[in-house]
Amino acid sequence: MFERNIERLLKVFLNPQIAVKHIWRRIPVGSIELRERFDAFERPSYAWGIINAAKLARNLGHKSVSVIEFGVAEGYGLMDMEKTAMAAGKKYGIEIQVYGFDVGTGNVVSNDFRDMPYYWRPGDYNMGEGGMQKISNKLKKAELIVGDVRNTVRKIYERRDFAPIGFISFDLGFYNNTKDALKIFDTDDKNVLPRVLCYFDDVMGDGTCHNEFTGELLAIKEFNNNHDDQKIAKVNGFSINRIIKSPWNEGIYALHRFRHADYNRFGA
């Protein structure tokens, strides 16, 4: 832990861009669009996804849009998502519903090589005793949904006031969990925007040997093989247009619903 903190400090002081964005995160001045372009958010991948999902929903004439986090753990990401969603909603005049999915008990024991058990330790990312209630108490409007994602993922559509999904962060690590979470896209067009922005947290990294035969990348590959009218595709060249290059750029994908009534709509 000590060496990791030293490494972070060195990165901040030796790289002016990193220093600027760290200071900017703590002193949030300027528009959310300007801050987003300079990664001046705790989770810039969330900020990019939420802001652009809000823009797309607004351009399509929607009054609300949903954003989702798969893999809540101790809840810090969901709290950041909620905070950013509230700012973006105010900026673009649109309601942004926020949902977080988690099993609550951390990583399970897996002997399936596709889950990369050599890397994911059982019990990690546990919410802890009373974690669900503690996290819920800190949330203003976001909703935490706890349970096996296989059972909870589609129930969200039973809500009468559910807004179409515009952005999802997938941070489940395991192949099987991610595969189950991707079933959220097996739904009617009314429940999703024609393009759903996605961030996959576990498709890159040093020492984890990420590849298309295991983990999240395998789940994406199989989803694409099993669906003709919708595909999850990496946003090619994404980092080229970023002012600050960052590892999270590699995790940006988008679901394309080719037969969605609004997919070909110009300007949306």
Write out pLDDT tens, residues 99-111. 999 998 899 999 9
Q: pLDDT-based confidence at 14, cuts 50/70/90? A: very low
Q: What is the pLDDT of residue 26?
A: 66
CA distance 163 to 157: 9
Six-digit token string for 15: 């790289």
Cα angle 245, 250, 253 (rounded to 5 degrees) comes to: 125
Per residue in 189-245, pLDDT (tens digit) is 999 999 999 999 999 887 788 999 999 999 999 999 999 999 999 999 999 989 888
Cβ neighbours, 10 Å, residue 187: 15
What is each CA distance from 20 to 41, 80, 241, in whole angstroms? 12, 20, 19
Cα 36 to Cα 30: distance, rounded to the nearest angstrom: 10
Secondary structure class of 247 (helix, strand, coil) = helix
Find the angle CA(37)-CA(82)-CA(38) to the nearest 5 degrees: 10
Residue 155 pLDDT > 80: yes
pTM of the model: 0.90
Element (H, E) at 23: helix 16-26
pLDDT in tens, 62-90: 999 999 999 999 899 999 999 999 999 99
Q: In the sheet that 95-102 helps form, which strands lie side by side, from edge to edge?
A: 143-146, 95-102, 64-70, 165-170, 192-200, 252-257, 230-234
At residue 160, the pLDDT reads: 79
Quick count: other Cβ atoms within 10 Å of Cβ 226?
10
Q: What does the pLDDT read at residue 17?
A: 56
Pairing mode of beta strands 192-200, 230-234: unpaired
What's the rounded mean pLDDT across residues 90-99?
Answer: 96
Is 60 exceeded by the pLDDT of residue 16? no
What whole-number distance in Å separates Cα of residue 241 and Cα of residue 52? 15
| pLDDT tens-digit readout, 157-193 | 888 789 999 999 999 999 999 999 999 999 999 999 9
- Domains of the chain (ranges plus CATH)? 1-30 (no CATH), 32-257 (3.40.50.150)
Q: Which residue has the tokens 């000590």?
A: 2
* Cα 220 from chain centre: 14
Q: What is the pLDDT of residues 104-153, one digit of tens each?
A: 889 999 999 999 999 999 999 988 777 788 888 889 999 999 999 999 99
Q: What is the pLDDT of residue 13?
A: 52
- What DSSP string runs through 33-55? HHHHHTT-SSSHHHHHHHHHHHH
